[in-house]
Amino acid sequence: MTKMEKIAKRIDSYRNEMIDMQIKLCAKPSISPAIGGEGEVEKAEILIDFLKKNGFSDIEVIKAPDLEAPSGYRPNILGFFKGKSSSKTIWIMTHMDVVPPGELAQWRGDPFKAWVEEGKIYGRGVEDNQQDMVASLYAIKAFHEEGLEPNYNIGIALVADEETGSE
């Protein structure tokens, strides 16, 4: 098998785990305090735990002050997956916050209890921005578990407050 085939096969094997991760992340609404939510702290805990268990290093949480948030801050997480050379870092940035669910009558289920229907995941945030987030994290997990080193470092930035002004 080529490296690409190994990675692709490994990622396929994560299907159920990735769906579970989507469901877990979706259950932590992460709506901005400016529009009545609690921010990203609880979602960040799940993600930090994932990074710690899957080969990431130099994990750092940058706490942007937000007095409206119950915790007083909005977390921004950085983590690295080391490559053969540290001369460059390829960054993948995704955001943790989601917009409010809107009118609940328009949903066929609870927007914060993600569900699978005909091979698709439904729930607030599962597309924007969790599909990119989960895909990138599991792509790196696949490198880690296949013992493959990328040519350059990969940096992951999981950020707060994208949806409402990025103050």
Answer yes or no: 60 catalytic. no
Q: Say whether 96 sits in a helix, a strand or coil.
A: coil
Give the shortest CB-140-to-Zn ion separation in angstroms. 21
Q: Which pairs count as long-range contacts for 59-64, CB under 8 Å and 24+ apart, including other chains? A: 64/160, 64/161
By CB under 5 A, is residue 127 in contact with Zn ion?
A: no
Q: Which residue has the tokens 């599909």?
A: 131
For Zn ion, the closer CB: 48 or 96:
96
What is the Cβ-side half-sphere exposure of residue 127, based on CA atoms within 13 angstroms?
Answer: 7
| Piece of 2-10, 11-19, 127-135, 140-148 that binds Zn ion (CB under 5 A) | 127-135
| Piece of 9-17, 79-87, 122-130, 146-154 that binds Zn ion (CB under 5 A) | 122-130
| Piece of 5-13, 55-63, 104-112, 121-129 that binds Zn ion (CB under 5 A) | 121-129
Q: Say whether 101 sits in a helix, a strand or coil.
A: coil
Among 30, 94, 129, 153, binds Zn ion (CB under 5 A): 129
d(CA 36, CA 145): 40
For Zn ion, the closer CB: 47 or 142:
47
Answer yes or no: 17 catalytic. no
d(CA 133, CA 147): 22
The residues that are catalytic are: 97, 162
Query: Residues in the site for Zn ion, rule: CB under 5 A?
Result: 128-129
